[in-house]
């Protein structure tokens, strides 16, 4: 019996180590690796373009970082005068989940457009900031529209707008500039989490506080060219906005289970990204 114990102990140890390694590998492959695009300290990694100004000329200190927040402000403006602005993350993505925590604060700048009251947006599958013309209002992109409302009023949030682009909803090509999501109203200065899920040029979801409010397919340029990916941008349209967090989960990567960087949540395979021991 003593001899049998001596034989069994090493075998049990090997089995335990193997089981632990398998569990660790499984856990690692399922762990979501979110990337923070905003560091809470500065605007490193971002480019900005304001209508009428050169790339990265931050007129009026429109985009700034204070108290750990990315802030859109107009206290140094005398009048808005259609100075629509956008701040772009420096890298493009194609298949991803993007989360933005935002809120509207304060009063809209005087002479801002009526429709821009408590209005911002996540521009995605966008052209790069450097390609925008000097007096261009909006980048060619798809917009996940972010709208707020005063207490006592109703205003749909999470609609889609399409500057220079189109989408397909329920099998129908939609060519109007904006299509209503029918999403909920978000009042006052409450924090809202907007999540965008995009699968290249196929499926797109708009999500607000974990509620799917809109789904469409086939994002494309006005000439029908598919939009497979692009850049992210947040807007300045005359109403002060706070951004607390911007983060992305890349859904494109190595889908080979034998690779050390395999992830179960990837939906688009990139064999060139695979790493093996």
Q: Considering all CA atoms of the chain, what is the largest pairwise distance in Å, rounded to the nearest integer? A: 91
Separation CA 258–CA 128 (nearest Å): 36
Locate tokens 């999403």: which residue? 183
> Which pLDDT value is given to residue 224?
98
pLDDT in tens, 98-152: 999 999 999 999 999 999 999 999 999 999 999 999 999 999 999 999 999 999 9
Dihedral pair phi/psi, residue 188, rounded to 5°: 60, -145
Nearest Cα to 233, choosing from 45, 32, 82, 41? 45
> Which pLDDT value is given to residue 27?
63
Looking at the DSSP bridge assignments, the partners of residue 9 are: none
> Which pLDDT value is given to residue 5?
43
> Which pLDDT value is given to residue 222?
98
What's the residue count for the chain? 277
Separation CA 35–CA 62 (nearest Å): 25
Separation CA 147–CA 187 (nearest Å): 9
The CATH fold assigned to 35-253 is Jelly Rolls (2.60.120)
> Which pLDDT value is given to residue 129?
98
Q: What is the pTM of this model?
A: 0.89
Taking 70 as the pLDDT cut, the residues of the chain under it are 1-27
The domain ranges of the chain are 35-253
């Amino acid at each position: 019996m003593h001899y049998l114990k001596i034989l069994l102990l090493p075998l049990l140890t090997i089995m335990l180590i193997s089981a632990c390694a398998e569990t660790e590998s499984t856990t690692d492959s399922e762990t979501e690796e979110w990337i923070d695009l905003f560091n809470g300290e500065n605007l490193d990694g971002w480019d900005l373009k304001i209508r009428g100004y050169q790339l990265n000329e931050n007129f009026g200190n429109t985009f700034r970082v204070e108290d750990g927040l990315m802030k859109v402000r107009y206290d140094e403006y005398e009048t808005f005068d259609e100075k629509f602005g956008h701040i772009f993350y420096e890298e493009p993505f194609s298949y991803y989940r993007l989360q933005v925590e935002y809120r509207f604060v304060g009063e809209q700048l005087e002479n801002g457009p009526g429709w821009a009251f408590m209005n911002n947006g996540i521009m995605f599958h966008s052209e790069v900031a450097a390609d925008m013309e000097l007096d261009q209002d909006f980048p060619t992109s798809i917009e996940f529209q972010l709208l707020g409302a005063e207490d006592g009023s109703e205003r749909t949030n999470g609609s889609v707008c399409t500057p220079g682009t189109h989408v397909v909803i329920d099998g129908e090509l939609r060519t109007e500039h904006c299509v209503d999501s029918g999403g909920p109203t978000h009042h006052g200065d409450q924090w809202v989490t907007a999540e965008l899920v995009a699968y290249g040029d196929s499926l797109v979801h708009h999500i607000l506080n974990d509620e799917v409010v809109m789904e469409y397919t086939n994002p494309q340029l006005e000439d029908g060219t598919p939009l497979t990916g692009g850049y992210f941008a947040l807007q300045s349209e005359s109403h002060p906005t706070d951004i607390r967090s911007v983060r992305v989960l890349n859904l494109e990567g190595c889908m080979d289970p034998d690779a050390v960087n395999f992830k179960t949540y990837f939906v688009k395979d990139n064999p060139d990204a695979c790493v093996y021991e």
